[in-house]
Amino acid sequence: MKKVMILALVLMLVVVAVAAAGIRGSKHDMSNSGGQNTRVTNQDDLCVFCHTPHGSNTAMTAAPLWNRTANQSNWTTNSAYTSTTLNGTATGPYTSNAISMACLSCHDGNTAGETLVNGPGSGTASVLTWQNSVFGTIANLNDAAGLTNDHPIGVLMPNAADTGLYATIQNVNVSAPGGTVQCSSCHDVHNNSIVPFLVSSNSGSQMCLACHNK
C-alpha cells in the first residue's frame, strides 16, 4: 500500500513537471499573468499571440492556424547566410515560407507593436494591434546584417555535399518543409525547460554535435 502511494506521488510530480514545461510561465507566455507585460486589455489567453481557432493567416503554411501577419517586407532581400565554406544553400525565411518566418514575425526588431489577425474574445475577426513592453528588448535577429550573421537556415539535410555533417541526424528534429534546418531544428517554441527553448540539451555542445561530426 505504501509503495502504491509513493508511486502515485511520483506520478503526480511527473505530471506537474510535464505541465510546467509548456508555454505557461515561459518567456513565450505573453498573457497578463505571464510576466511579459503584454498590453492587451484583460488578455489572459496564452495561445492567441500565435494561434487562432478561426480566421487564421493561411499564407503561413509552416505554422498551423497562425494568428499573425509576418512582417515579410523585412525579409524579402538579402537576408540569407553565405560564406566561402558553406556547401549547401541557405535561404531567407520569406523565400521558403518556412517556420523560421513565424519566429521572425516577433524576433524581427519591430518594437512598435504587434498585430494579431483575429483578436481574442467575442466579435468577428478583426485585426488587433498590441504592445508588448518587452519588445524593446526582445531578441532581434534582424540586426543590420539580417540573417547573414546567424547559423544558416533553409539548408537541406541530409546534405551529401558536406562530409562534416552526419547523414542521419540524431536527436534533432530537422523541420518541415523538405528537411531543412530551421529555427525549430534547435528550438522548441512551446517548451523552455532547456533554456533558451532548446530541443535538446546543448551541454558539452551535444546538440551541435548531433549534426556536426567535429
Binding positions for ligand HEC, rule: CB under 6 A:
23, 27-28, 30, 36, 46-47, 49-51, 63-64, 83, 85-88, 99-100, 102-107, 132, 134, 138-139, 141, 151-153, 155, 157, 159, 162, 165, 169, 172, 174, 181, 183-187, 189-190, 192, 195-197, 202, 207-208, 210-212
| Minimum distance, C-beta of residue 3 to ligand HEC, in the bound complex (Å) | 35
| Minimum distance, C-beta of residue 121 to ligand HEC, in the bound complex (Å) | 16
Q: Closer to ligand HEC at the Cβ: 40 or 165?
A: 165
| Minimum distance, C-beta of residue 139 to ligand HEC, in the bound complex (Å) | 3
| Minimum distance, C-beta of residue 124 to ligand HEC, in the bound complex (Å) | 22
Q: Closer to ligand HEC at the Cβ: 84 or 124?
A: 84
- Cis status of the peptide bond prior to 177, with omega within 30 of 0: yes
> Which residue type occupies 10?
V
Q: Closer to ligand HEC at the Cβ: 23 or 80?
A: 23
Query: Rounded to whole angstroms, what are the CA distances from 100 to 4, 72, 108, 170?
Result: 46, 11, 11, 21
Q: Closer to ligand HEC at the Cβ: 85 or 168?
A: 85
| Minimum distance, C-beta of residue 110 to ligand HEC, in the bound complex (Å) | 10
| Minimum distance, C-beta of residue 159 to ligand HEC, in the bound complex (Å) | 5
Q: Closer to ligand HEC at the Cβ: 10 or 167?
A: 167
Burial 92-130 (b: 16+ CB within 10 A, else e): bbbebbbbbbbbbbbebbbeeebbbbbbbeeeeeeebeb
Q: Report whether 156 contacts 180 (CB < 8 A).
A: yes
Q: Report whether 198 contacts 206 (CB < 8 A).
A: no
Nine-digit cell string for 173: 528534429
Q: Closer to ligand HEC at the Cβ: 123 or 204?
A: 204
- Cis status of the peptide bond prior to 64, with omega within 30 of 0: no
CA end-to-end span of the chain = 52
